Structure 1
Amino acid sequence: MSYENQYGNQYAGLAGRTAVVTGAASGIGEAVAVLLAASGARVALLARRGDRLEAVVEKIRADGGEALAVVADVTDGASVDAAAARIRAAYGNVDLVVNNAGVMLANPVDDGRIDEWQRMIDTNVTGVLRVIRAFTGDLLGAAAEGHAADLVNVSSVGAHLTLPHFAVYSATKAALTHLSQSLRTEFGPRDVRVTNVEPGLTETELATHLDNAELTGRLDGMFAELGVLSAAEIADVVAYATSRPRHVNLRQIMVLPTRQA
């Protein structure tokens, strides 16, 4: 079913906008990029896997959308800055940023996996800050000119849950949720919306990052018992929030399968 047949003009507010989506090579990031482009936005897709990015961009262009593949690593400040420069050269300033890149690793804290902790902090927290730093001027400029300007951070329901062996992952997502809340006090008065999206059980590649067979089995059991959201369903939420009139901020959205308490 085509976008027009399924959604009509629901996302008309996205037409003509310029978006950046991180972690866009798969999962939620890919789905968000595809839907934003189908809604008329120019979309720059950022991720480390160039081959996957090119495949998604080809799909978008085949459907009549406008997209740019930009290989970048959010854990590397120079890489993010170079990506921002390339995007501006191609599309001009950005008015919609979706921070989706993330990693979920889990092991008992007493295993002392500092490598995993550092990777999650570098990606889920500092990586987000690098992207925000790169595009804050664009967002504030768009808002000052009277245009819609959006910063969307994809956090997790894990920001609020206490799960054995997911302590550090949950802590990074709690930091992201609180960062979003605090940023509203700085950006909101200048007409930049900050939306924090917290998905529950969702079909993405995150679970494949785990190297603990027991935890993988536990997640599989939760998926079977509680059900799972698709990446496209999370993309629908992002597109809806960012296509509202510019004075309307859907600030905090938790999206769960109905059976997930």
Structure 2
Amino acid sequence: MPYEGSYQGAYESLAGRTAVVTGAASGIGEAVAVLLAAQGARVALLARRGERLDALAGKIRADGGQALAVVADVTDDASVEAAAARVHEAYGTVDLVVNSAGVMLPNPVGAGRIDEWQRMLDTNVTGVLRVIRAFTGDLVDAAARGRAADLVNISSVGAHVAFPNYAVYGATKAALTYLSQSLRTEFGPRDVRVTNIEPGLTETELKSHIDNAELAGQLEGMFAELGGLASEEIADVVAYVASRPRRVNLRQVVVLPTRQV
């Protein structure tokens, strides 16, 4: 479905901020990067697909924004560390980190797809932790200097709503939701905000990764019946929470299509 929203100029406080967005090659990550850049933030685009990142960075620059394409694989320690070094060299201290990289690979647990389980754990949980490790010092330093500092994690409503055959995916997102909650006890006293966003049905590439034809058909049926959110609508939520006064932390936001309960 086409996205009809327009938020140009709505988040002036984002101007001058320095953001890292993972999963920026498509979907929610791409939409977040475009919106933050449009509002005046310098945005480091992290993902595995270099050609997609280069094209997106070029589009952002053509529209007057600032963007840095950084090829990175969040499942690899050295890759994340190298990406962080490149971001620091180009942009200095980061004050906004958006963890959007993720994979959704549903199948019955009885199918024993350890390959899928490992990929989801490595990306959705450990990958997030790698990125947090790489930029925690930046966020704490920015906050100590009196600037807004935000860690935004994109989880899923599947963290607390059970769907048949999505047990492992839901477990990884439940881990991310709990991680966000726990991190607030560490980061909040140092004035770093942590926001956990849980989207419902959203139009992204995730559904194209499903290799089970029956489950893919079921998901398409849900989109047809309930309607899916646009990635730009989730990006709008990210921009909103990051643009509040620095003393305000919107800690958890569940975003659903109106028909999804």
Interval containing the TM-score (normalised by the shorter chain): over 0.9
SS of residue in 2 equivalent to 1:70: strand
Residue 42 of structure 2 corresponds to 42
Q: Deviations over 1:200-220 (max 9, x none)?
A: 000000001100000000000
CA distance in 2, matches of 1:242, 1:249: 9
What does 1:195-210 correspond to in 2, within 5 Å? 195-210=195-210
What does 1:84-163 correspond to in 2, within 5 Å? 84-163=84-163
Alpha-carbon shift at residue 8 of structure 1 (Å): 5.3
Residue 216 of structure 1 corresponds to 216
Residue 13 of structure 1 corresponds to 13
SS of residue in 2 equivalent to 1:164: coil
CA distance in 2, matches of 1:94, 1:81: 14
Residue 194 of structure 2 corresponds to 194
- Name the aligned partner's letter for residue 136 of structure 1: T
SS of residue in 1 equivalent to 2:204: coil
Q: Deviations over 1:7-37 (max 9, x none)?
A: 3542111000000000000000000000000
What TM-score do you get using the length of structure 1 for normalisation? 0.97
- Name the aligned partner's letter for residue 108 of structure 1: P
CA distance in 1, matches of 2:7, 2:53: 25
- Name the aligned partner's letter for residue 199 of structure 1: P
CA distance in 1, matches of 2:203, 2:216: 13
CA distance in 2, matches of 1:137, 1:48: 24
Q: Is 2:8–2:39's contact at 8 Å kept on the other side of the alignment? A: no
Q: Deviations over 1:163-186 (max 9, x none)?
A: 111000000000000000000000
Residue 29 of structure 2 corresponds to 29
CA distance in 1, matches of 2:123, 2:69: 20
Alpha-carbon shift at residue 6 of structure 1 (Å): 3.7
CA distance in 1, matches of 2:113, 2:8: 48
CA distance in 2, matches of 1:156, 1:54: 28
Structure 2, unaligned stretches of length 5 or more?
A: none
Q: Deviations over 1:36-95 (max 9, x none)?
A: 000000000000000000111111001000000000000001100000000000000100
Q: Is 2:7–2:236's contact at 8 Å kept on the other side of the alignment? A: no
- Name the aligned partner's letter for residue 128 of structure 2: V
- Name the aligned partner's letter for residue 133 of structure 1: R
CA distance in 2, matches of 1:104, 1:7: 29
Q: More displaced, 8-17 or 143-152?
A: 8-17
CA distance in 2, matches of 1:250, 1:163: 27
CA distance in 1, matches of 2:165, 2:188: 36
Alpha-carbon shift at residue 161 of structure 1 (Å): 1.1
- Name the aligned partner's letter for residue 236 of structure 1: D
Q: Which runs of 4+ in 1 moved over 6 A?
A: none
Residue 175 of structure 2 corresponds to 175
Residue 74 of structure 2 corresponds to 74
Q: Cα RMSD between the aligned structures?
A: 0.9
- Name the aligned partner's letter for residue 87 of structure 2: I
Cα separation, partners in 2 of 1:6 and 1:208, compared to 1, 3 Å: closer
Fraction of identical pairs, as percent: 79
CA distance in 1, matches of 2:79, 2:90: 17
Residue 255 of structure 1 corresponds to 255
Alpha-carbon shift at residue 197 of structure 1 (Å): 0.4
CA distance in 2, matches of 1:130, 1:137: 13
SS of residue in 1 equivalent to 2:254: strand
CA distance in 1, matches of 2:71, 2:234: 23
- Name the aligned partner's letter for residue 116 of structure 1: E
What TM-score do you get using the length of structure 2 for normalisation? 0.97
What does 1:221-236 correspond to in 2, within 5 Å? 221-236=221-236
